[in-house]
Amino acid sequence: MNTKELINEVVSLPVEERTLVVDSLLRSLNQPESEVDKEWASLAQKRLVEMKNGTIKSIPGDEVFKKIWKRFEK
């Protein structure tokens, strides 16, 4: 399989699987160096699991930014 075929194969995967591929590739380029990086990665993994099992719900980005802008308007 050549690079183009590999990319086409990955692009056809469901979004969660593509995210895992991207994360793995980025980790191979930028190895976490600090304890903080490891803690953030652990928290992100925990949140992903919580979202998948319905423990938490995501908030659309535009709602988040509206709340942030309201804080600074006062």
CB 25 within 8 A of CB 33: no
Q: Token pair 């990086």 is at which residue?
A: 37
Count: domains in the chain = 1
Nearest CA-CA partner of 47 in 65, 59, 36: 59
Q: In this predicted model, what pLDDT tens digit does every residue of 21-72 receive, in sequence order?
A: 998 998 888 776 788 888 988 999 999 999 999 999 889 999 999 999 998 9
Domain hosting residue 42, numbered range = 3-73
Residue 32: what pLDDT?
Answer: 63
Residue 28: what pLDDT?
Answer: 87
